[in-house]
Chains A and B, each alone.
Chain A
Amino acid sequence: MRHSEPMRRFVRADGPEKVTGSGRYTADLTLTGQLIAKFRYAEVSHGRITKLDVSAAREVAGVLAVLTQDDVPDLRYGDAVADRTLFARDVVRFEGEVIAAVAATSAQAAQAGIDAIIVEIDELPAITDVEEALTEQSPLVHEGWADYESGWGCERNRNVASFSSISKGDAAAAMNTADHVVSSRFVADGSHALPIEPRSVVAQWEGNKVTIWTSTQVPFKARDGVCETLGLPSNRVRVIVPHLGGGFGGKCGFHFEAHIAALSRAARRPVKLVFSREEEFLAPDRRREGIVFEVTSGVMDNGDIVARTGKVVVDNGAYTADAGFFPQMASMHLAGPYKVANVHIDAHLVYTNHQPSGSVRAPTAPQACWALESHTDELAAAIGMDPVDFRLRNCVDTGDEGVVGQTYDEIGLIECIEAATGAAGYGRTELAADEAIGVAVGWWPSFPGASGAYVKLEADGSGEIITGAQECGTGSVMTLRQLAADELGMDPEDFQIVYQDTAAGPYDAGATGSQTLLNNGRAVQNASRQIAGQLRQMAADRFEASPDDIVLGDGVAMVVGTPDRSVPIAELARSSMNTELLLGHGSSAPVDTPVLRNSTCVGDMGLSAWIGPQFSCHAVRVKVDRDTGVARVVSVHAAHDSGTIINPIAARGQIEGGVVMGIGQALSEGTQYDERGAQRNAALLEYKLQTAADIPPIHTKFVEVFTNDAGPNGAKGVAEAPNVATAAAIANAISKVVGAPVRQLPMTAERVWEHSVGNGEVAS
Chain B
Amino acid sequence: MSEIYELRVNGVDYPVTADANRNLSGVLRDELGLTGTKEGCDDCECGACMVLLDGQPINSCSYLAAQAQGREISTVEGLMDRDEMHPLQTNILECGGVQCGFCTPGMLMSAHALLERTPEPSLEEIKVGLSGNLCRCTGYGTIFEAVAAASKVEKVEP
Contacts and interface: CB of A to CB of B under 8 A. Distances in A.
Interface residues of A, number: 55
Nearest to A663: B139
Given A21-B105, A30-B30, A657 B99 contact: yes
B142 A20 contact: no
Nearest to A475: B99
Interface string B39-59: 111110110100000000000
Contact of A653 (B35, B46, B102, B138): B138
Contacts of A197: 38, 40, 48, 100, 102
A358 to B, nearest CB: 17
B93 A12 contact: yes
Given A20-B77, A24-B35, A653 B101 contact: no
- Give the most central of A16, A30, A653, A697: most B CB within 10 Å: A653
A243 B101 contact: yes
B146 to A, nearest CB: 10
A20 B127 CA distance: 22
Interface stretch (A48-56, A482-490, A615-623, A688-696): A688-696
B91 to A, nearest CB: 10
A18 interface: yes
A14 B136 contact: no
A14 B101 contact: yes
Interface residues of B, number: 53
A19 B99 CA distance: 10
B89 A20 contact: yes
Interface in A1-27: 9, 11-12, 14-16, 18-25, 27
A99 to B, nearest CB: 23
Contacts of A475: 99
A193 B37 CA distance: 22
Interface in A674-690: 683-685, 689-690
A175 interface: no
A429 to B, nearest CB: 21
A470 to B, nearest CB: 12
Interface string A409-449: 00000000000000000000000000000000000000000
B113 interface: no
A12 B134 contact: no
A652 B138 CA distance: 9
A689 B134 contact: yes
B43 A15 contact: no
Interface of A: 9, 11-12, 14-16, 18-25, 27-28, 30, 194-198, 243-248, 276-277, 472-475, 649-650, 652-653, 656-661, 683-685, 689-693, 695, 697-698
22 contacts: A18-B101, A19-B92, A21-B79, A22-B36, A27-B39, A30-B30, A194-B136, A196-B103, A197-B100, A473-B100, A650-B96, A653-B99, A657-B99, A660-B139, A660-B140, A684-B41, A685-B45, A689-B136, A691-B131, A695-B139, A695-B141, A698-B141
Interface of B: 29-30, 34-43, 45-46, 48, 75-77, 79-80, 85, 89, 92-94, 96, 98-105, 108, 126-128, 130-144
Given A20-B77, A658-B139, A692-B143, 9 more contacts: A20-B85, A22-B77, A243-B100, A243-B101, A245-B102, A276-B42, A473-B99, A690-B140, A692-B126
